[in-house]
Amino acid sequence: MDQGLVRSEVLAYAAALGDGVLKLILTRGDSLRGYGVNPGAPVRRLLQGSPPATYPQAHGADGVRLFACATRLAEQPLLAGLKHLNRLEQVIARAEWQDAEHAEGLMLDLSGRVIEGVFSNLFLVRNGLLLTADLTRCGVAGVMRAEILAQAQTLGVPVAVADIGLEQLQQADEVFVCNSVYGIWPVRGYAAMSWSVGPLTRKLQGIVRALLDI
């Protein structure tokens, strides 16, 4: 696949779209019946444009509560980290709540490890250390997650990618979720746990807002 061509297509579409959200989807193209793969099929590129996403300003200013999702993420290392098109687990999890009290849900894996939000990645701050979940078993390694890790290292903030348990979550000084559309939302509550919006969350939030121009 010609990366230069893809880049030019994306930039042209983005210019035509203006303010909004652009998604690039790659598929393996036409193939055989069933699960067989046609190795000669050209990759198909789909560009999808949407209006700007709108969320309450209070989510970023005051923080959000996370719903305790019963749906667990299955472990599949071959797909871990990838943003593939099979998001059925997230669809099921998102259907678990409809109230306005919860802006996002927290998903655990089958072993009870804290992994991510339904449509976001999760970070903790504990004693100055910025921690996010290891996604080698399941989960989506979002582009905003990578950007925040890079920005934290530039700031000299120690970072770690490791398994996270509910006990570590409860002991955190700060918690926030992130994605590439809204940036960073501080987390102020999950189940019986609660946190204040901390200084590192605010600092990273300001950096990300400047990057996204939001």
**In terms of domains, do 62 and 147 share one?**
yes
Q: Which residues span the domain enclosing 14?
A: 3-50
**C-alpha triplet 149, 26, 141: angle, nearest 5°:** 20
Amino acid identity of 45?
R
**In terms of domains, do 38 and 129 share one?**
no
Residue 36 is predicted with a pLDDT of 82
Residue 31 is predicted with a pLDDT of 77
**In terms of domains, do 84 and 171 share one?**
yes
**In terms of domains, do 13 and 72 share one?**
no
**In terms of domains, do 33 and 114 share one?**
no
Residue that is last in its domain, among 30, 50, 70? 50
Q: What are the backbone dihedrals phi and psi of residue 194, each rounded to the nearest 5 degrees, phi first?
A: -150, 150
pTM metric for this prediction: 0.92
Question: Can you give the CATH number for the domain in which 123 is found?
Answer: 3.20.10.10
Question: What is the H or E stretch that residue 208 is in?
Answer: helix 199-212
**In terms of domains, do 45 and 93 share one?**
no
Q: What are the distances in angstroms from CA 104 to CA 57, 100, 116, 184?
A: 15, 10, 10, 12
Task: Tell me the average confidence (pLDDT) per consecutive run of 10 residues in the chain, 214 residues long.
Answer: 87 90 89 80 90 93 98 97 95 97 98 98 98 98 97 97 98 97 97 97 96 80
Residue 214 is predicted with a pLDDT of 67
Residue 43 is predicted with a pLDDT of 87
Total domain count, the chain? 2
| Gap between the Cα atoms of 172 and 174, Å rounded | 6
Residue 91 is predicted with a pLDDT of 98
